[in-house]
Structure 1
């Protein structure tokens, strides 16, 4: 195949790129979250604890709201990888080795961004733990928002075998909050839940899990399920988490995904520089993302 030398990062076309299609098929967060355009590496996004309402008598004074107004800070972090490709593989291969590498990176990135945003079980450090994950948010007390850490986390007594009561408790934790929106709610879950869900019945012996047919989505308790391979607990962000699976009940409007750049790539021709000695070129892929969940009372998690 012909070789093109690219001297700048080339962004993937969001509507047509196979890399982007792979990412949005695999990543629940990239597909569902509210996108926040970022023109710098940080951005403050307003957050409110709600606003009250009173009955106002004719000619009466309006009461003033005392709800807390604050903001969340989005900080862009870089996810990337480089692949060294031999000149022979580029020139002799029938398959497009560069496209194959890019799509492979996209799928790994998709799993890692879901893990980093939803299921990392430690505090943000900006490197191995790029964000405050949803799990960590729900596990942390925030007195300013009136939330006690762990309130909206339900852990199954038997690993990988959650009961009907545990599923019901988990979704009930978010249903009872001010941010519950029955028309705009998703369950993001690891596929490991599928096996256990098939055997869970409600008190009338009806299945709580309905597998979609002919393009209709899977649902649990009537809530659409989006499956994610990144939805397993891990100590640091990874594309191959191995901890217990989670099911997160979320409102996409509260899922704030900052998009600073990418996915994008640069191809560094091996005929230039030191790589000319080995007939190798380098393909680099990256995306810069930021994350925050708007309010801990607007989500809940079941640990399977």
Structure 2
């Protein structure tokens, strides 16, 4: 995995289709966690807990498991109601096990025409566990993609690693498997091409760990300060987009933003964003396919 360092001043203006200024991605992370693991190592759930303290993987953590399951039983449906009422799409990431264990959720996203992005096999397994075993990492990715194709009915085009913990081999493996975009890289507000060993093109479409509903937990945000975080990000990027297009992603988790006392921040932000011309409620696949055809007009190709 390799990419050129091209700082913003060295790029040509990015011109989104139809004169859009800002590609806005509302990412709903549809994730499944195992109750227990066959391990006495500390359990890694891939996000903050509601009750502190790390139990070993083979010990059931009831408050944290059932808190996260609230997102599957209640929170995600509240989010889908908001998306329906406001008539906007979401880009949904799924790990393979939620498709196996909670298929109703994936079916509801597909029924709405929402984009589905592959998101590892299970949330508490990290690809970095296989940093020094590429064959094992490839097996996890392939197993995930096989389940994705079975459930979604087509091959995956993009990938988000659990907790964004990819290895130096991940993007090369994804390119070998025919994917065209990756969401693990946090280092930009625009898409760019990533080089791969095979020479197959891969587009980076950035995720964010900051404009994320986990900030409600980590920073003690309220519904109003959470909305303000979304708005501040939007306003600045929208202004910059007048000269060169930008991407804004919001990372959302049904057990967090789907709580009744937080959901208004999402609804009010969507309503705010819709008052602006030039906002593209985009899927990552749309961005990636467009960028593969237009990248040379943005960043000069290198040999």
What TM-score comes out, normalization by structure 2 length? 0.27
Structure with the higher fraction of residues in strand conformation: 1
What TM-score comes out, normalization by structure 1 length? 0.27
Q: Which is higher, the Rg of structure 1 or of structure 2?
A: 1
Structure with the higher fraction of residues in helix conformation: 2
